[in-house]
Structure 1
Amino acid sequence: MNLRQLTPDLAVAPQILPEDLPALAEAGFRVLINNRPDDEVGPEADDAAMRAAAEAAGMTYVFNPFTPGRITPEMISLQAEALAASGPKLAYCRSGNRSTVLWALAQAGKEPVADLIGTAAKAGYDISGVRPLIESLAAQAD
């Protein structure tokens, strides 16, 4: 697994599989955030399979699918709620980029925009294309 730490209690990753969850739970992760739509994966890694595996591993599971180009306020709110849960969290999608974008959007107004983009870049994700949206959300939060 290719886990990339964004914050002390949030890592993002490319697609994981149900069989990865016991090891992730053993490593201390308590919340699993699935940002990958079901139409991008087969039944072995869809919402139902991942939910069952997360629950079996004792993890809280959140399904917040993000189709590229379709960000909604509800998605940002759900991601923020999931990120506010206690304990270490892992968010994943196809590459980790969409999970990183949702993290940054959920943090807009809480941290400087440049810091959010810089943190993402240090983890290997270029989210500069959503800078205007982050700035807009940050301005609304003021």
Structure 2
Amino acid sequence: MTTPVQLDENYFVAPQIFVEDLSVLKEQGFTLIVNNRPDGEAEDQPNAEQLEKAAKALGLKYAWNPIELPKLAQEHLTKQSEIITPIQKTLAFCRTGTRSSVLWVLMENAKGRSYADLVSQVSAKGFDLSRCESAMIPLKGQ
């Protein structure tokens, strides 16, 4: 498992996780797992139902908010915002962590933080959001 990347106090992102990673994540203090990857993107990818069942068996909260960047809409941002609470240590994941980072940038931007500063912060953590720009612009504030 790749080490989760911390974007703020309690929001971390990671590439695809697997059922066997969940116990390690629990040991690391995560209480909420958010899956931003649609089922069926890769043959070796566990589906959302498998991950949810395993997460709940460990006492973890689990949410599925699948994102395809060309179809990114306000409803995805709203759902992610409703799922995330600032007091839960959260791991959001997708294929590479980029889509989960995009959602964080847009959620924080909606709270009044600078879009440019947020993109810069995430880029400094190793995520290239330039290819996501066309999906993000319609949903960004200032």
TM-score per shorter chain, which class? 0.7 to 0.9
**Preserved contact between residue 35 and residue 64 of structure 1 (Cα < 8 Å):** yes
Q: Give distance in 1, aligned partners of 2:96 and 2:44.
A: 19
Q: Which amino acid aligns with 2:55?
A: A
What's the CA shift for 1:57?
Answer: 1.6
Alignment match, 1:76: 77
1:78-111: CA deviation from partner (whole Å, max 9, x where unpaired): 1111222531000000000011011111222321
Q: How many residues align?
A: 139
Alignment match, 2:107: 106
1:13-68: CA deviation from partner (whole Å, max 9, x where unpaired): 00000110011011100110000101214486101001011111211111000113
The structure-2 alpha-carbon separation of the partners of 1:42 and 1:58, relative to structure 1 and needing over 3 Å to count, comes to farther
Question: Normalised by the size of structure 2, how large is the TM-score?
Answer: 0.87
Q: Give distance in 2, aligned partners of 1:131 and 1:86.
A: 31
State, as a whole percentage, how many aligned pairs show the same letter.
Answer: 36
Q: Give distance in 2, aligned partners of 1:80 and 1:22.
A: 25
**Unaligned regions of 5+ residues in structure 2, if any?**
none
**Preserved contact between residue 105 and residue 134 of structure 1 (Cα < 8 Å):** no
What's the CA shift for 1:119?
Answer: 1.6
The structure-2 alpha-carbon separation of the partners of 1:117 and 1:54, relative to structure 1 and needing over 3 Å to count, comes to same
Please give the secondary structure, in 2, of the residue aligned with 1:84. coil
Question: Normalised by the size of structure 1, how large is the TM-score?
Answer: 0.87
Moved more, 83-92 or 29-38: 83-92
Q: Give distance in 2, aligned partners of 1:7 and 1:57.
A: 25
**Preserved contact between residue 33 and residue 90 of structure 1 (Cα < 8 Å):** yes
Alignment match, 1:96: 97
